[in-house]
């Protein structure tokens, strides 16, 4: 994350902006200073101010970008787009919160309520997808929602879109 921001700062647009601002400040200061023969070399002072402004602008841009990125918090849920009943494996789009062998809870959304479908773990992480192996299906879901379970087994798109994977395990007695 920080490497990307630093890379963006040192991109063509970031460097152009910094050079433009610092160059404008330097040009303005040369208008005010007319006598360059003081005992303290003002040329070195201007150079030091130029370097300082450049570093300060880089740090301010980095702080603003990181602050904006931290305010955007990605949710720790993801939707399922395919189910392979032979392996009892769900395919989800790749994301940052599911790591290899992470335990997950799988929920079905029914009229805005999340009903526990089961538990699983991240079996494999591919380039674009994550395979989530279903370990167990909740008994209450099997008893109360058997028709939905059949739709999931047949890869019904509407049923699959109502399933979410969360990166935590719920308490059961």
Cα-trace Rg, the chain: 28
- pLDDT band with cut points at 50, 70 and 90 for residue 79: confident
pLDDT for res 133: 92
Smallest Cα–Cα separation from 145: which of 173, 114, 105, 117?
A: 117
% of residues, the chain, pLDDT over 90: 10
Confidence at residue 172, expressed as pLDDT on a 0 to 100 scale = 57
Supply φ then ψ for residue 119, to 5 degrees. Answer: -125, 155
pLDDT in tens, 80-139: 888 888 888 999 988 877 888 888 889 999 888 888 899 999 999 988 889 999 999 888
CA 13 to chain centroid, in Å, comes to: 23
pLDDT, one tens digit per residue, over 153-168 is 898 888 888 888 887 7
Q: What is the DSSP secondary structure assignment for residue 106, as one 8-state letter?
A: E
Q: Which residues of 51-60 are buried (b: 16+ CB within 10 A; e: fewer)?
A: eeebeebbee
Domain boundaries, the chain: 2-71, 77-166
8 Å CB contact between 47 and 25: no
């Amino acid at each position: 994350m920080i490497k990307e921001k630093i890379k963006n700062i040192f991109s063509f647009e970031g460097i152009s902006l910094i050079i433009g601002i610092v160059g404008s400040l330097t040009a303005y200061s040369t208008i005010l200073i007319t006598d360059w023969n003081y005992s303290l070399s003002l040329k070195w002072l201007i150079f030091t101010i130029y370097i300082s402004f450049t570093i300060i602008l880089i740090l301010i841009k980095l702080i603003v970008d990181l602050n904006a990125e931290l305010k955007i918090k990605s949710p720790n849920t993801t939707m399922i787009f395919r189910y392979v009943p032979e392996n009892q494996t769900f395919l989800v789009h790749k994301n940052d919160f599911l790591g290899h062998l992470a335990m997950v809870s799988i929920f079905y959304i029914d009229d805005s309520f999340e009903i526990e479908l089961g538990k699983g773990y991240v079996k494999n992480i591919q380039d674009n997808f994550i395979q989530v192996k279903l370990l167990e299906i909740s008994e209450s879901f099997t008893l109360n929602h058997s028709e939905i379970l059949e739709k999931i087994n047949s890869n019904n798109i509407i049923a699959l879109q109502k399933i979410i994977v969360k990166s935590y395990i719920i308490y059961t007695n």
